[in-house]
Copies of this chain bind each other. A is one copy, B any other.
Amino acid sequence: MRVLGVDPGLTRCGLGVVEGAPGKPLRLVAVDVVRTSAAMPLGERLLAIESKLDEWIAEFGPDAVAVERVFSQHNVRTVMGTAQASGVATLVAARRGLPVASHTPSEVKAAVSGNGRADKNQVAFMVMRLLRLKDKPAPADASDALALAICQVWRGGADNRLRAAMNKNGARR
């Protein structure tokens, strides 16, 4: 299973593609950060993010997309832009017929490190370990996008097994 993780943002939007299955080793396929300048009109920034996502979906053919679920606890100014970028990511994935999952930051942290309150550094360390990289992925947006993809590979796997089990039970009746 191949997942594109998106850590949405206007200034930096993290993208990470990971391949794997629950209980099997994970593999890094690609990682990058789309940057757009605050001097650009909002529409241009969203277009740049849309175009990069479209390109990546065409190039890497993920089976699913995982987008970080945005909360509004944070900085009010930033969070609106983040929500708008996440809307564009969800739109692009849906247009391609891909399932879109969303995970909260603490779900992602818990998935990769066992601790829902892990800090950025710990997440980056675990992403490096799990993907057998030589260095921690940087910046944090890149690392977070990979962590999201890993979380979805594992959770998606659990969902798939559940669905398979349910179908099996259905067949038994």
Mark A residues whose CB is within 8 Å of B: 41-44, 46-47, 50, 70-72, 76, 79-80, 83-88, 90-91, 93-95, 100, 102
Known: A71-B76, A76-B72, A88-B88. A44 touches B83 (CB 8 A): no
Interface SS, A side: helix
Decide: B80 and A46 in contact? CB cutoff 8 A. no
Closest to A73 in B: B76
State the Cβ distance, A109 to closest chain B Cβ, in Å: 20
State the Cβ distance, A62 to closest chain B Cβ, in Å: 14
Name A100's contact: one of B42, B70, B71 (CB within 8 Å): B42
Q: For the complex, what is the distance from the CA of A87 to the CA of B72, rounded to whole Å?
A: 16
Q: For the complex, what is the distance from the CA of A93 to the CA of B44, rounded to whole Å?
A: 10
